[in-house]
A and B are shown apart, each in its own frame.
Chain A
Amino acid sequence: MTDVSVALNCPACGGAISVAEGVDTVVCSYCSSTLFIEGDRGVTTIAFRNRLSKQRAVDASRRWWSKGWKARDLKRAGKIVEVYPIYLPFWRATTRVAGWICGYEIRRHTDSKGRVHEQKVPKEVMVLRDYQFSEIAADPGDLGIRSLRNFSGETSFADFDMIPTFEATNSRDDAVAHAKQEAISRARSSAGIPRVTMERLHIFPRRLSMVYYPVWVVRYEYRERMYLTTVDGVTGMLLSGRAPGDPLFQSLAITAGSSVGGLLAALGIMLSTVRAEVAFGGILAGLAVLYLTYRFFRHGSEIIEGDFRHKPASMSQTVKEFQDIARTLQGDYR
């Protein structure tokens, strides 16, 4: 077996050198040679200091219990079983995007005679920005956390040995690739050009670091079932969680949804004498309301917050999806 430990010597003078993880150049303190670090030079690592007490993590979870459409007896029947902090590893990358995006926008306007005019408006936008990206560096399992929401806080390795530290197992270059993709798509959407004819963008990965972020795991029991919430150890916000739902809220939702949806559809049909499209629009809007509440009716027996792999739709998620669909429809129509 080859030896695991490798001594670091200056190739010019043979003196011992000291290298901080993540740096790519170092100056020998004996002969002042500038040395380039080849091979695995590691990555700059920082850890955020945990600012939460156990009690505050519990309080954050309890506050979340009483919010939204969760089981009404959760506050009474829910019992906190276990509360502990962990350090989760994240890749954090800064990526600069620079370049030009050119294209055009089509504007339609109706003149006084009712004729529709189309006008092509050429656009060109210069992009020069740094984008922050973060991604969990391990498999998140059932923690429901994928990226960092907070980048500021006191950094310290003081309680690093006391808190269990989850190890990074994902490739750093995969993280860099994801950071590039995200930076480019964010740059594109920030340019806001509906029809792109020419695009020349350059991507510069600027900084990559490993961030250890404190997260509190709160496990609780409700009717013999075990649920889990996670709380941000710096800001004290709830990051993810699962909670039991309530059949009362599920049935109220579908009752409201089917009545409002049905009446919207009826209204559309009634007004179809004025314009035919109104009937279509009314029925569509009615069905949309029905679908939204149906999803909650069907899946509302468990309320989920956070980034889980198999995530049944929550109300807010569905609303977001609808907004997206509406936005694309609008974009096409325009």
Chain B
Amino acid sequence: MASTKCPKCAAPVTFDTGTKFVKCSYCESQIFIDRSGAGFYYAVPFSVAEADAIGLFKRWAAGPARAKDLDKHAQIAGIRKQYFPVYMFKRDVKGREEVLVEPAGSTTLPGLHKLRIPAGDIKIFDEGFDIGGAELVKPDIEMLSYMDSLPGKAKEQALVYFPIWRMDYVFDQKRFEVVIDASTGEIFSANFPARSSTAYMVVAAAGFVAFALEGLLALSSLAVAASLMALTVVGIFAASYYVARRL
């Protein structure tokens, strides 16, 4: 909660992140919160604990695009709890509201192609906000350096700290990095050990061609074709089961 003074009776008035209109609890007058001239500090709380973050990473690593058994063989080399800063600008550009997100730190996050503010319960970042032992990445680009070059008129500008887990892991003697959004659990990764589709394609193509040929063979000798088909069913099933489990 942030606080300001009531312009009528000077009593303290508290308001939350998304509030536009508040009522003064003392004199009952309604107040508009004008954010156009001020810079706010916001933060999104962590909803993913360290153990959950590792669990989310393992789920991602077990996904079909990742190298087989990456979740079991990846060795986690380090995990850091961080608050990453971005600037959020709300502008009035010729009567249209535009939201722009710009980096506040010169470091970028791997796999995040476009800076975003992940959905979360955005809180006002003040002394009362518990960062939970996370490391605050210092913003080293000033908000003002963007302000002059942005289009339109200011409606609101804020520095938003969003929660991430930064994880390093080693697979096949190579080091990789992932970022886990600690609000919704999304995983970002620039490069990762990928799984080849070749074995899957070979099995599928082999089965298709074999059945097509056996189907044609059925014209001349039905018995031979039927027994070959039975064999192929068993063969394809065994091969595909092996591929799905191991490759």
A298 with B197: CB separation less than 8 A: yes
Q: Does A306 make an interface contact (CB < 8 A)?
A: no
Count of chain A residues with a beta carbon within 8 Å of a chain B beta carbon: 77
Residue of A nearest to B120 (CB): A166
Q: Does A183 make an interface contact (CB < 8 A)?
A: no
Q: Choose from A4, A173, A252 the contact partner of B97 (Cβ within 8 Å).
A: A173
B219 with A251: CB separation less than 8 A: no
Among B55, B216, B243, chain A packs the most CB atoms within 10 A around the CB of B55
A297 with B17: CB separation less than 8 A: no
The smallest C-beta distance from A302 to any residue of chain B, in angstroms, reads 5
* Consensus secondary structure, chain A interface: mixed
* Consensus secondary structure, chain B interface: mixed
Q: Does B65 make an interface contact (CB < 8 A)?
A: yes
Binary interface profile of B, 85-126, with partner A (CB < 8 Å = 1, else 0)?
000101010001111000000000000000011111110000
Residue of A nearest to B218 (CB): A266
B62 with A301: CB separation less than 8 A: yes
Q: Does B139 make an interface contact (CB < 8 A)?
A: no
Binary interface profile of B, 226-239, with partner A (CB < 8 Å = 1, else 0)?
00010011001100
Looking at the complex, which of A52-60, A198-206, A241-249, A317-325 is the stretch in contact with chain B?
A: A241-249
Given known contacts A250-B244, A262-B214, A270 and B183 CB-to-CB distance under 8 angstroms = no
B208 with A262: CB separation less than 8 A: yes
Q: Please list the residues of chain A having a beta carbon within 8 angstroms of any beta carbon in chain B.
A: 1-8, 16-21, 40, 42, 81-82, 86, 88, 136, 138-143, 164-174, 219, 221, 224-228, 242, 244, 247-248, 250-252, 254-255, 257-259, 261-263, 265-267, 269-270, 286-287, 290, 293-294, 297-302, 312
Q: Please list the residues of chain B having a beta carbon within 8 angstroms of any beta carbon in chain A.
A: 4-8, 13, 17-18, 20-21, 23, 29-35, 37-38, 52, 54-56, 58-59, 62-65, 71, 88, 90, 92, 96-99, 116-122, 155, 181, 183-187, 197, 200-201, 203-204, 206-216, 218-219, 229, 232-233, 236-237, 240-241, 243-245
